[in-house]
Structure 1
Amino acid sequence: MSLTKDSWRISLAGRLPRLAVSAHDLLVTWICWQALHHVRYAMLPIPPDYPLISLEVVIVLLAQGLVFRLVGLYQGLWRFASVPDLINILKSAVMGVLAITLGLGLYNRLDGVPRTVLALYPFALMGGLGLPRLVYRAWKDHQLGEVRGASAQRVLILGAGQAGEALLRDLLRNGAYQPVGFLDDARELHGTRVHGIRVLGGLDDANRVAKESAAKMLVIAMPSLDASSMQRVLAICEGTGLPFRKVPRLVDVLEGRSAPGALEEVAIDDLLGRKPITPDWKLIRGWLGGRAVLVTGAGGSIGSELCRQCARHGATKIALLEISEYSLLKAQADLHRAFPDVEIVPILGNCGDPALARRALELAQPDAVFHAAAYKQVPLLETQLREAVRNNALASETMIKASKAAGVGTFVLISTDKAVDPANTLGATKRLAEMLCQSADDLTSTRFVTVRFGNVLDSVGSVVPLFRDQIRAGGPVTVTDPDVTRYFMTIPEACQLIVQAAASAAHASIYTLDMGEPIAIRVLAEQMIRLAGKQPGRDIAIVYTGLRPGEKLHETLFHEEEAYRPTSHPKILQARAREVSAEALSKALVQLRQAVIDYDEDQIWRLLKTTVPEFSPDNPHESTDTIVQFPIREARNSR
């Protein structure tokens, strides 16, 4: 009984504000109707008496009240009254006069109702309903401004476009920040105001304006800037000596990587020249929609993002095969939270175990397998040859055989640019996995697809989190060589292109992703130091340690014997696979497995060099490596 009473009280408490607003609006309706009649009758020599309440007045209130409810006028809050609310009031007034005309026409054929009253009624009602709402919002904003007082952080906004205007509205509702002005390079905006906040000059005026306005933070509200423009804005922000943040891109908000209205630190990928990619979503959804997939290494950087991409684009069942207990639990929880309607099948174990591979495929019944499980740390694998071969090559063969036996439609091997001309253990073992895929494809059953790409920003164990930790510790930041370069992609765009390539792949195909231009690691380190609000060489030292075992100055994306041709997507090229002797490969694998069992690393080394003839580990540190352009860009530049 007490529970029922409490529920009734809570319900009543929630309805009271709306009941008060309804009573206010009906009172305003009554006042407008009475006032218009008295004004109209005042023009007559002998004005008649108009009753304060009558059946006619009741019909007016009922008709207008019904319109208020139908239009949804009480769904908005006075605290945030704005243009959409005024438009609703206009709709209510126009529809109201039509409803009143109909009601009174049926009641008394509008006998005694002045036409002037009907003509002026919508305008009077708009003013009567709109003005109190706007006054209430202004009063609440003023109250909030007083509460902020000196405790609010003074913010200067860079960019007076749509993103800047949306940011301003968010900041005005947030008691922690006080916007003091805008800066924008559009000269026609200088001196204008956005919601009362003035555009004080161009971006180059940031240093002067920040001092004059006593700003304590800069916020970059230009989410569509390209990398070169962002670098210029970053330099301007650094010149002020103030902390700075940026508003997230719309795509990051929509895909759940950023919260709406959040202020973020400028990320390193904002400065690396990566233009947004646009996959063929229709093709991807047509391939993935309603299907089941299995992802090995599902708890890793690439594996977990592949799971998200598959769930986002229509997969109804995703099996997670992962050797790390913690990574599996985290990946499962993240997917359950973001995609509650997708069936998640967690499988703990080593994908190189034939029994586990068969069991995983039985549980998942997948239409596609994404094989992302691999060891990838170049210097470490130079001293862990047996494990590199066992995990990167032999475990791949186990998944390949199991997938083919289970009748999987598509098997996608996640490879690396280091497999093109391998100079280290990682590259050689991944190239061997590529050869296994090619050899297993009989062009009639499972499609075996290989997708190559280079480094991904912020992946576990990559250079970006390493630099970040070193900067946080005060330095020094260690770079192997001043001239070393690498190709980089963001994790989401790499996975989008993987799925895109897989959706349209041919049998035994190898695809290379356009990684953009190679980036000097020295430049990457300098930019990350600046993003941390420090200066390279002054606040944080950069130390050059020399190339590590297995490392090259420059990676190559293309092999001279692989003829590349464009695909339907401009950032994906298809390579013509090099010839592989299936018989020789099969014989070498038998010997490799025995050498792994015997822990005979000398034999493993000899077999690896023999099986992957392009593997040349003797001179990996030569500085004669060349940077090869993405063929499509090269052809375009030559025109």
Structure 2
Amino acid sequence: MPMQAVPMHTVTRRLVMILWDCGSWLAATAMIVGTRYEFYLTDPQWTSIYLYGAAACALQVVSGTALKLYRGRYRVGAFDEAIGLAASTLWVAILLGLGMLVVRGFDAFPRGLALLVPPMALLFMAAGRWLYRAWNVRARHSSPDAENALIYGAGDAGYQLLRLIKVDSSSPYRVVGLIDDDKRKRNLTLLGVPVLGGRKKLVKIAHDNDVTTVILAISSASTEMVRDIADLVEQGGMRFLLLPPVAQILGGRVKLSDVREIDIADILGRRQVETDIESIADYLTGKRVLVTGAGGSIGSELARQVHKFGPSELILLDRDESALHGVQLSIYGKGLLDTPDMVLADIRDREALRPIFERHRPEVVFHAAALKHLPMLEQYPEEGWKTNVLGTLNVLELAAEYGVRQFVNISTDKAANPTSVLGKTKRIAEQLTAWHGRRCEGTYLSVRFGNVLGSRGSMLHTFRQQINMGGPITVTHPEITRYFMTIPEASELVIQAAAIGRDAEVLVLDMGEPVKILDVAKRLITHSGKDIEIVFTGLRPNEKMHEELFSVDEDGTRPFHPLISHVTVSPVAPDQIYHLAPHAAADSSTPPERAFDGFR
């Protein structure tokens, strides 16, 4: 492959840099000689100084080239370049010092110069680069179509973002000022952009400077802070953008493309679960892993996260072929559905599941397949029974038969003190899992969490579609609350569960404070900029006003993780569940009043 020619302007810039560095050594030598000796030196001393200057220039070129200072390795004026420049100067100083001991021309050289000149030369070389960078940044002009913007936060993240906007002439933003609540930064100026004030003056500052966009760039911003600033900005008629925490940005380096619209997850978000990567890798890497319900929101994210840990085989099972196509495409970049690890089957069909377990013999099972829509299951409780109870039992019994080492059943907070068909079927699934956990080899447990933001068919999808249609948004009750978490967080908890959970337990994530559904609806309406009506429809049959994470007889402990509680549920044997089935009324041995016991 032929080497690409270096552009002429780059060659010129590098030659200028070499000349500047050589001049820095000469200027530093002259300055020290003038200030220390007032240029009163003997001829032999002048000869040695001329030799010193020539040698310094030559060695600087050699060492700078070796360290790639003149070959485009560093951005001019960057911190990394300063380290390289210091290393180059140190090598030159050491070599010159050794030269004084062996080269005859240095006999009369004033020894004090050997210590004083290198630091001064480094200062001159660095100053030239920093001046060039400052001039270059100031000389760049924003696009004529750029929006006037304020950056909220004058810390490290704000500085990185400001620098990116400054150096990118095509940036859609023109930063006219910084906002920061730290009074110590009131007189601060970053790259020529001043801190104009704090939160209380934000709207006035924005209007005085014709600002249309405010970008929050504080890596440690809490949910409450994001919510308060978003309210302030949007009520002031401006667009609010967000820079995610630096820890969530790939490589920890801010990019202009990281700036995004605020999402409802930013308003409702909480502390992320810290994952014990080593323990997870130990039980997933090189193992055969089966995910049921792999086409769903939780199942597909589970599959994507598990894939990162390098299982020997990842078997994805779902009854929806389109959903399987989507998850295969998201993981492998293809959607041919022509490999045996893509399994089209229904967990209700035990005979269809058996050859799958026989062929793949999974060692880890994440059971995410379920019916979850509460109002639909209230109308069709038999369907909830067939999938959430009998389907789970099928998967559990086959897992036990084929020696699965870790089994994680995915449950819901509606299983705590259940009142609905959904909650009661998932409660039975937890109890069946606990029963197998006490009798089977391996670890069998359940994970319980609340509503998942952005999952298929979730409240957010419904609200957004209603807004797109012009409204109204339907909310069951003005006081109804729910717990929320993000899809990645829910999936991370499930994966962590198999690493820290014990047999027959239910693991419950600390969901933070419950959120009013009405507040979510209002937030989405404000963010849309539309005038949307909210209509209250009333609680649906067996729907709770406020969800619970624990049943009345459950007492959670946190022995391993500060955000994960462990509870126990009473086990139920498979032969004890059938009197709970909706069709039990057809059996004359079951009293009619017990036919829907535990369902209605």
- With normalisation by structure 1, the TM-score equals 0.81
Is the CA contact 2:280–2:496 (under 8 Å) kept in the aligned structure 1?
A: yes
Counterpart of 2:412?
416
Question: In structure 2, do the counterparts of structure 1 residues 344 and 245 end up closer, same or farther at CA, with 3 Å as the change threshold?
Answer: farther
CA distance in 2, matches of 1:227, 1:492: 17
Counterpart of 2:433?
437
Counterpart of 1:347?
343
1:163 correspondence with 2:157 = yes
Residue 409 of structure 1, CA deviation: 0.2
1:152 correspondence with 2:146 = yes
Question: In structure 2, do the counterparts of structure 1 residues 162 and 364 end up closer, same or farther at CA, with 3 Å as the change threshold?
Answer: farther
CA distance in 1, matches of 2:592, 2:262: 44
Matches within 5 A, 1:455-494: 455-494=451-490
Residue 122 of structure 1, CA deviation: 2.1
Unaligned residue ranges in structure 1 (runs of 5+): 618-639
Counterpart of 1:523?
519
Counterpart of 1:324?
320
Q: State which drifts further: 508-517 or 454-463.
A: 508-517
Residue 610 of structure 1, CA deviation: 4.7
Counterpart of 1:621?
none
1:395 aligned counterpart, secondary structure: helix
Task: Give the CA RMSD over aligned residues.
Answer: 3.8
Matches within 5 A, 1:158-197: 158-175=152-169, 176=171, 177-197=173-193
Matches within 5 A, 1:490-639: 490-533=486-529, 539-585=531-577, 610=594, 613-615=597-599, 617=600
Unaligned residue ranges in structure 2 (runs of 5+): none
Is the CA contact 1:561–1:578 (under 8 Å) kept in the aligned structure 2?
A: no
Is the CA contact 1:76–1:85 (under 8 Å) kept in the aligned structure 2?
A: no
CA distance in 2, matches of 1:607, 1:70: 90
Residue 135 of structure 1, CA deviation: 4.1
1:200 aligned counterpart, secondary structure: strand
CA distance in 1, matches of 2:127, 2:251: 39
User: How far does the alpha carbon of each residue in 1:43-78 deviate from its partner, in whole angstroms, 9 at most, with x for none?
Assistant: 3577579899x9988865553334224434246567
2:520 aligned counterpart, secondary structure: helix
Residue 461 of structure 1, CA deviation: 0.5
1:13 aligned counterpart, secondary structure: coil
Question: In structure 2, do the counterparts of structure 1 residues 157 and 133 end up closer, same or farther at CA, with 3 Å as the change threshold?
Answer: same
Question: In structure 2, do the counterparts of structure 1 residues 582 and 468 end up closer, same or farther at CA, with 3 Å as the change threshold?
Answer: closer
Is the CA contact 1:481–1:544 (under 8 Å) kept in the aligned structure 2?
A: yes
Matches within 5 A, 1:42-441: 43-44=39-40, 60=56, 63-74=59-70, 80-103=76-99, 105-108=101-104, 110-111=106-107, 113-115=109-111, 118-123=114-119, 125-126=121-122, 129-145=125-141, 148=142, 150-175=144-169, 176=171, 177-254=173-250, 262-272=258-268, 274-312=270-308, 315=311, 317-336=313-332, 345-362=341-358, 364-441=360-437
Is the CA contact 1:562–1:578 (under 8 Å) kept in the aligned structure 2?
A: no
1:163 aligned counterpart, secondary structure: helix
Residue 377 of structure 1, CA deviation: 1.2
Question: In structure 2, do the counterparts of structure 1 residues 280 and 417 end up closer, same or farther at CA, with 3 Å as the change threshold?
Answer: same
Question: In structure 2, do the counterparts of structure 1 residues 80 and 399 end up closer, same or farther at CA, with 3 Å as the change threshold?
Answer: farther
User: How far does the alpha carbon of each residue in 1:367-404 deviate from its partner, in whole angstroms, 9 at most, with x for none?
Assistant: 21000011211122333444333322222222112211
Counterpart of 1:629?
none
Question: In structure 2, do the counterparts of structure 1 residues 454 and 612 end up closer, same or farther at CA, with 3 Å as the change threshold?
Answer: farther
1:415 aligned counterpart, secondary structure: strand
Is the CA contact 1:480–1:548 (under 8 Å) kept in the aligned structure 2?
A: yes
Question: In structure 2, do the counterparts of structure 1 residues 136 and 611 end up closer, same or farther at CA, with 3 Å as the change threshold?
Answer: farther
Seq. identity, %? 33
Residue 112 of structure 1, CA deviation: 5.5
Residue 181 of structure 1, CA deviation: 0.6
User: How far does the alpha carbon of each residue in 1:460-482 deviate from its partner, in whole angstroms, 9 at most, with x for none?
Assistant: 11101211222233321110122
CA distance in 1, matches of 2:178, 2:27: 45
Is the CA contact 2:284–2:306 (under 8 Å) kept in the aligned structure 1?
A: yes
Is the CA contact 2:161–2:256 (under 8 Å) kept in the aligned structure 1?
A: no
CA distance in 1, matches of 2:592, 2:83: 73
Is the CA contact 2:177–2:196 (under 8 Å) kept in the aligned structure 1?
A: yes
2:178 aligned counterpart, secondary structure: strand
CA distance in 2, matches of 1:552, 1:477: 20
Is the CA contact 2:453–2:460 (under 8 Å) kept in the aligned structure 1?
A: yes
CA distance in 2, matches of 1:255, 1:529: 35
Match of 2:377, as an amino acid? Answer: L
Is the CA contact 1:368–1:408 (under 8 Å) kept in the aligned structure 2?
A: yes
Is the CA contact 2:157–2:246 (under 8 Å) kept in the aligned structure 1?
A: no
User: How far does the alpha carbon of each residue in 1:144-184 deviate from its partner, in whole angstroms, 9 at most, with x for none?
Assistant: 22xx2542211111121222112211221233211111111
CA distance in 2, matches of 1:208, 1:439: 63
Question: In structure 2, do the counterparts of structure 1 residues 610 and 173 end up closer, same or farther at CA, with 3 Å as the change threshold?
Answer: farther
CA distance in 2, matches of 1:255, 1:369: 32
User: How far does the alpha carbon of each residue in 1:387-446 deviate from its partner, in whole angstroms, 9 at most, with x for none?
Assistant: 333322222222112211211101111011222333333223223322332333453413
CA distance in 1, matches of 2:25, 2:559: 70
Question: In structure 2, do the counterparts of structure 1 residues 323 and 27 end up closer, same or farther at CA, with 3 Å as the change threshold?
Answer: same
Residue 274 of structure 1, CA deviation: 2.4
CA distance in 1, matches of 2:251, 2:123: 42
Question: In structure 2, do the counterparts of structure 1 residues 259 and 436 end up closer, same or farther at CA, with 3 Å as the change threshold?
Answer: farther
Question: In structure 2, do the counterparts of structure 1 residues 574 and 134 end up closer, same or farther at CA, with 3 Å as the change threshold?
Answer: closer
CA distance in 1, matches of 2:231, 2:28: 62
Is the CA contact 2:428–2:572 (under 8 Å) kept in the aligned structure 1?
A: no
CA distance in 2, matches of 1:503, 1:404: 19
Residue 98 of structure 1, CA deviation: 1.1
Is the CA contact 2:134–2:191 (under 8 Å) kept in the aligned structure 1?
A: no
CA distance in 2, matches of 1:285, 1:169: 38
Residue 581 of structure 1, CA deviation: 4.4
Counterpart of 2:6?
13
Is the CA contact 1:385–1:601 (under 8 Å) kept in the aligned structure 2?
A: no
